[in-house]
Amino acid sequence: MNILLLGYGKMGKTIEQIALERGHQIAGRIDADNYADLANLEPDDVDVVIEFSSPESAAENITYCLERNWPVVCGTTGWLNRRPAIEALCERTKGAFFYASNYSIGVNLFFRLNKVLAQFMRNYPSYHVSMTEIHHTEKKDAPSGTAITLAEGVMEQLPGKQRWVSNEPGKEPLPVGEDAIEIESLREGTVPGTHTVRYESDVDRIEIKHVAHSRQGFALGAVIAAEWLVGREGIFGMDDLLGN
């Protein structure tokens, strides 16, 4: 399988390593420094694209690829206000688009655990729900896409929660009403990703946490998604890949 890497930072390099170990070829490595080289690729040069670039360039990258009938696996977060247009394009071109805020199998199990816990907490309004996410200092968007997915999972199960509020150190804190979930975003060193969901009352605290030890889990999941996507048509996510 010939894989085009759109975004060749630390994640792109880890994806490349895993893809080569699994017997695939790299059709191209495109980053901001050599973006013009993308035009040199012929349609038949690429079987699938794995897109881990930046919030500013993701939508344009995906559009370019779908217009060339290249299946796209995207892991870039922070651009989802343009997702409806991307999905409409995918449908018009009869293409294939796979998006996940996090490709780690463990994180996707954590998403499910998060929903189950939120369902349990419906009848206990004395507990206040909040979240903390910690990532490396090079991460550009806050809160993380994973934290947003977790917040959305809680909102599905707790009817009183209608929105999330992002608070970052060094910025004026935003008010958090009864209808909101506070997400605290911290940027520390080289942390791959730590997410905590907590329910706190006057007498105790319940927490669930996922700690990533490296980028390997995210990268492996993205390559597996690319293998799965080739030959399909439509819009997909991790639930489709995992069969649930």
CA atoms 13, 19, 25, 27: torsion sign = negative
C-alpha span between 70 and 44 (Å, rounded): 9
Backbone angles phi, psi at 203, to 5 degrees: -110, -20
Residue showing tokens 């080739």: 230
139 is catalytic: yes
Tell me if 196 is assigned to a ligand binding site: no
Select which of 10, 115, 128, 139 is catalytic: 139
C-alpha span between 105 and 84 (Å, rounded): 26
CA atoms 105, 22, 46, 92: torsion sign = negative
Backbone angles phi, psi at 209, to 5 degrees: -145, 140
C-alpha pair distances (Å), 170 with each of 167, 181, 192: 9, 20, 22
Tell me if 29 is assigned to a ligand binding site: yes
Tell me if 100 is assigned to a ligand binding site: yes
Among residues 141, 60, 107, which one has the least CA distance to residue 211?
A: 107
C-alpha span between 129 and 205 (Å, rounded): 10
Tell me if 77 is assigned to a ligand binding site: yes
Tell me if 146 is assigned to a ligand binding site: yes
Select which of 135, 161, 195, 210 is catalytic: 135
Are 133 and 184 spatial neighbours (Cβ–Cβ below 8 Å)?
yes
Tell me if 24 is assigned to a ligand binding site: no
209 is catalytic: no
Tell me if 136 is assigned to a ligand binding site: yes
Name the β-bridge partners of 209: 196
Could you count the other beta carbons within 10 Å of the beta carbon of residue 107?
22
Tell me if 75 is assigned to a ligand binding site: yes
Tell me if 76 is assigned to a ligand binding site: yes
C-alpha span between 34 and 173 (Å, rounded): 39
Read off the DSSP letter of residue 176: -
Cite the annotated binding site by residue number: 29, 75-77, 100-103, 136, 145-146
Cite the annotated binding site for NADP(+) by residue number: 29
> Hey, which residues are catalytic here?
135, 139
Cite the annotated binding site for (S)-2,3,4,5-tetrahydrodipicolinate by residue number: 136, 145-146
Cite the annotated binding site for NAD(+) by residue number: 75-77, 100-103
